[in-house]
Structure 1
């Protein structure tokens, strides 16, 4: 009987299929030139969603294994719904350099069972066939062909792990992402089209398209690597949760494609592996963005995508983005990159512009500085296809040369940036840059991050092939030098405001949001630009004083940790700022932000016209009034502030001498972990603009180079 519920569900599937076709055929703009950040896939979800993944198979047929992975000698069951009228044979293949038939299961008999509404509880189909994996089967990605009466065979997927390392490389497939996007049974963690948006998805249902995104990403790497002669063992990222020693004994671990969904323990095991000397290749984009957890012995994946809605509130079990409360474990600290600092590439795909062409990674490629590589004819053969990651960074005084990361965000201080490309960021609503690079650890560990979902799509291009081989070969041999620390890696946060010419000799599109790139979020910053005429060393930040105000938000550490000592340094030129007598402006506001309630203001760096004299002070919010210190009205000057809760001391200095140190009981104040800057003025009290340059926050006295000030 055809019920109303089944008709509604079929309609949902029909709309999902239509959505998928439209998105692939024309869901992205293609009228902009390569490198133009305006040429992006239009999105309507703020979670780093790849809408072209939407769609579902006919939910009345398919198959799924009872286990994600097994070792040789173990058994698993295949649960199949299939209207094939006669008995049939399942064919099991190992995916690799070629697709190799490994075995068959004859005389399988099944019926159609349906799975409407089974996205969370599972389809719970009966066992169609049991299978014991032979002891001599090699580790690999295995697919099962399920014949049907018309059309090509359906497929399902499982992994054979090595009981102990048989190769030096372990390749992990990101099936958690497969399940997050999988709307088989009428729902997913997204709710594309008319499918339900769920907090739970089941492994007791077929993967979308039978084998998830294997053909799109990971399968391409496996074919390339095995043809190139690399011997690898295989498992799923999922297995990191249930096999705690999975990485032991491997010299190199690789992920590829779209490795978005990780549990807390999965990340910790990779982190431990790296810092104990392991080498990790992250050929993925949007990597480690959402934290999930497993229930029902690993057969249910939970992802509320909001700790407030999740009954589990702990860092280990809550399901939300990993960089914020309550998890506080940013992917910056593992991969060096982070999805909010990247975004979506051009609609036709894109490549990387070479940075540090003399690095060993580029040996044998013939690539020159700022040369574009990895760009194919379309998104389907370009290394930037869907989602790309980035980081906060500084530039030299020429406005174009990349100095390295701002390490206070969590990126390791010796992460060497080796490529960049313009992208459009959804999370921070700005046009920015995706980046690739690598870092090393003192123990001999190393991480290469390609920073894009599509890296493996470019493996047929000679430069991408050579770079990938260079990294694999060097990582396997342990033949790589320690990467040098970036110039600003020893500070909590430092912005030189120099990156005003990022497109020079690279791409035609201007990075109009360059002033905003290094901040977690910005608000109402129209008119804030990087200008050579506004800097004390290279470019500086031109900051308008507007009645609506503006805000640049910087965390003082990768995971919102507070500091009992906070020192700051910046350079200011107020010659174009108009302040009425008796008016006070706040330029910098330091907060204690627990990421739950509204942040608590701790201290403010203020500008005032006091008795017709332009002055500044550093004021604990709610504390005793600090004295005003006259400042130059027509030239650059240096400002240093001190917050020292251990010594109960607050300090403010102009050009290193004029100012004060005051004893204040800072024990009654919360400790800062966030610093915002921008000018909020009351209408009619002030106007104009100011120049800011060389902003530094640190937890110890700042000894950065001192730049000349004065007329």
Structure 2
């Protein structure tokens, strides 16, 4: 629900706002963003047990014993190409110097999409960078536009009923993706006079996922937090719930992280690691999974990344069907699948409006017409807690606490050298999940890390957990929103990890994630690694 803030300057428009917790109480929420700067959140700290530093720090390389190595893939050939380390934004410039958006969240290779750009410069260029590993460069220049005419486009309007920010910009250019490899892309807009740069994210998605590990970008969640134009699904001009948008549209730029939304902090580190492992990969978005029932058929694994909060019922159904057909699932964040949404069209095309009325669900015309209520999955009128899919359930915000290992002999910790009680400072945050069997919980489920937290004076735990199902699928949930970000803590290729997470933490999470991805890429993990239920051993008998 909340966005942790790594380092960097606080963007214009960022504020602390009062927001509903999703559990019936209001709390002070950080609407921070992936631009980071700020110290790690510490309002709810918990003590952990130090230890095992030398062993975990040494366990960076290698492969877990007994885990097969997948065959070489197209990923390997792509990442053998030279990268371009200068892909980043180095001169953002003033707020409106240059900014833009695409009229497609994703495209298949060879499809075209429109780009809508507003700039104060007379001309601009567009550079398309595919994000990956590339020897640590993290990006490769795939295409660059010619010199394009620029113009300052009109101010947005705000819908009186839904408080949706809308633009009416003219299309600036059409981009042809012929020859572009599948993957996550950042298009960098460069004002010719040097006055500014901004990103526009686009996914070049895979037509089929059979035999591959699927990376699912989460643009619906990026858009939910997007405050461009002064409104998001969390707040409006008053900085509170009363003036928030009830619907948001992709027909506007992203405000945060120079236009990249939440991608750079919550997704890019995992993309780099997965590509470095040379796994057979496929790319898509939650929007595409919702729209295409067959998309995940035959996939070996599906990955939900660091902050993937907003899901339509169709997306959840298709994830569940994939699990029940033997596809492994990895939830590498927290607060996943928490809000139930609906996609509706915008003026530019289908599925470009994210509808989520939250506590005002009875006012939603769609609900009145018989569609599911766009509120938290666990809430009335049709409760369906996310734990039935994830194994864990969202439990609170904010925390900044050590991650405490409970089950060091588990195969996922192979090669890390960790021992029982070893802790890793600041890895649990800013939101966390736990195993809570009062909610629907698949069994057997195995708790790997059981980290004490104190949140708003309430003592609880954050859990990393792994369960298996009869289809053979394994499901892993990290239980902390900082998992993907931590992969960059003193890691290869630089990165942006913050909050005090150190190299020892990064070495541990990288090795666990490598173990996870290799095993999940080899087929239904539950067949070779069945879960051994330990809930009572960890929590005691209820």
Instruction: Please indicate the TM-score interval, normalised by the length of the shorter structure.
Output: 0.7 to 0.9
Aligned: 1:286 with 2:335: yes
Task: Measure the CA separation in 2 of the matches of 1:295 and 1:59.
Answer: 28
Aligned: 1:115 with 2:155: yes
Change (3 A) 1:419 1:192: farther
Please give the residue correspondences for 1:113-512 in structure 2 after superposition, counting only pairs within 5 Å: 113-118=153-158, 120-134=164-178, 136-148=179-191, 149-165=193-209, 168-191=212-235, 194=238, 196-209=243-256, 210-296=259-345, 297-306=350-359, 307-313=361-367, 317-339=372-394, 341-346=395-400, 350-373=401-424, 375=425, 382-392=426-436, 406=437, 408-425=438-455, 430-459=458-487, 460=491, 461-478=506-523, 479=525, 480-485=528-533
Give the C-alpha shift of residue 204 in structure 1. 0.2
Contact 1:59 1:116 in 2 (8 A): no
Pairwise CA RMSD: 3.0
Aligned: 1:73 with 2:120: no
Contact 1:61 1:113 in 2 (8 A): no
Contact 2:405 2:422 in 1 (8 A): yes
Equivalent in the alignment of 1:48: none
Aligned: 1:91 with 2:134: no
- Give the match's secondary structure for 1:345: strand
Give the C-alpha shift of residue 449 in structure 1. 0.3
Give the C-alpha shift of residue 128 in structure 1. 0.4
Give the C-alpha shift of residue 229 in structure 1. 2.5
Contact 1:61 1:114 in 2 (8 A): no
Aligned: 1:106 with 2:146: yes
- Give the match's secondary structure for 2:388: helix
The Cα offsets for residues 97-154 of structure 1, whole Å up to 9 and x where unpaired, read as: 13111112213112112434457252121100002211x3221011111112345521
Change (3 A) 1:30 1:319: closer
Contact 2:397 2:455 in 1 (8 A): yes
Give the C-alpha shift of residue 390 in structure 1. 1.2
Aligned pairs, how many?
434
Contact 2:97 2:196 in 1 (8 A): no
Moved more, 299-308 or 158-167: 158-167
Change (3 A) 1:73 1:468: same
Task: Measure the CA separation in 1 of the matches of 2:266 and 2:317.
Answer: 25
Task: Measure the CA separation in 1 of the matches of 2:429 and 2:458.
Answer: 19
Task: Measure the CA separation in 1 of the matches of 2:218 and 2:389.
Answer: 17
Task: Measure the CA separation in 2 of the matches of 1:57 and 1:177.
Answer: 26
Give the C-alpha shift of residue 30 in structure 1. 7.4
Contact 2:291 2:314 in 1 (8 A): no
Change (3 A) 1:444 1:358: same
Change (3 A) 1:358 1:27: closer
Task: Measure the CA separation in 1 of the matches of 2:32 and 2:512.
Answer: 33
Unaligned runs of 5+ in 2: 1-10, 17-30, 50-92, 492-505
Whose helix fraction is larger, Structure 1's or Structure 2's? 2
Give the C-alpha shift of residue 336 in structure 1. 0.8
The Cα offsets for residues 348-376 of structure 1, whole Å up to 9 and x where unpaired, read as: xx442111222111111111111113x3x
Contact 1:191 1:198 in 2 (8 A): yes
Change (3 A) 1:420 1:117: farther
Change (3 A) 1:358 1:24: same
Change (3 A) 1:151 1:227: farther
Task: Measure the CA separation in 1 of the matches of 2:467 and 2:344.
Answer: 35
Moved more, 74-83 or 22-31: 22-31
Task: Measure the CA separation in 2 of the matches of 1:241 and 1:32.
Answer: 37
Task: Measure the CA separation in 1 of the matches of 2:532 and 2:225.
Answer: 39
Contact 2:43 2:398 in 1 (8 A): no
The Cα offsets for residues 589-630 of structure 1, whole Å up to 9 and x where unpaired, read as: xxxxxxxxxxxxxxxxxxxxxxxxxxxxxxxxxxxxxxxxxx
Change (3 A) 1:319 1:103: same
Give the C-alpha shift of residue 163 in structure 1. 1.7
Task: Measure the CA separation in 2 of the matches of 1:147 and 1:422.
Answer: 46
Equivalent in the alignment of 1:504: none
Equivalent in the alignment of 1:16: 14
Give the C-alpha shift of residue 487 in structure 1. 7.2
- Give the match's secondary structure for 2:322: helix
**Whose Rg is larger?**
1
Give the C-alpha shift of residue 165 in structure 1. 3.2
- Give the match's secondary structure for 2:228: coil
The Cα offsets for residues 408-427 of structure 1, whole Å up to 9 and x where unpaired, read as: 5211121111102123446x
Task: Measure the CA separation in 2 of the matches of 1:59 and 1:331.
Answer: 39
Task: Measure the CA separation in 2 of the matches of 1:477 and 1:304.
Answer: 41
Give the C-alpha shift of residue 431 in structure 1. 2.2
Give the C-alpha shift of residue 82 in structure 1. 0.9
Change (3 A) 1:129 1:320: same
Contact 1:91 1:144 in 2 (8 A): yes
- Give the match's secondary structure for 1:106: coil
Contact 2:301 2:329 in 1 (8 A): yes
TM-score by length of 2: 0.74
Task: Measure the CA separation in 2 of the matches of 1:179 and 1:31.
Answer: 27
The Cα offsets for residues 196-244 of structure 1, whole Å up to 9 and x where unpaired, read as: 4110111100122311011112011111221232342211112112222
Task: Measure the CA separation in 1 of the matches of 2:320 and 2:267.
Answer: 22
Task: Measure the CA separation in 1 of the matches of 2:449 and 2:340.
Answer: 28
Task: Measure the CA separation in 2 of the matches of 1:344 and 1:422.
Answer: 13
- Give the match's secondary structure for 1:474: helix
The Cα offsets for residues 447-493 of structure 1, whole Å up to 9 and x where unpaired, read as: 000011110122232221111111112222235332134577xxxxx
Change (3 A) 1:192 1:285: farther
Task: Measure the CA separation in 1 of the matches of 2:392 and 2:327.
Answer: 18
Change (3 A) 1:464 1:425: same
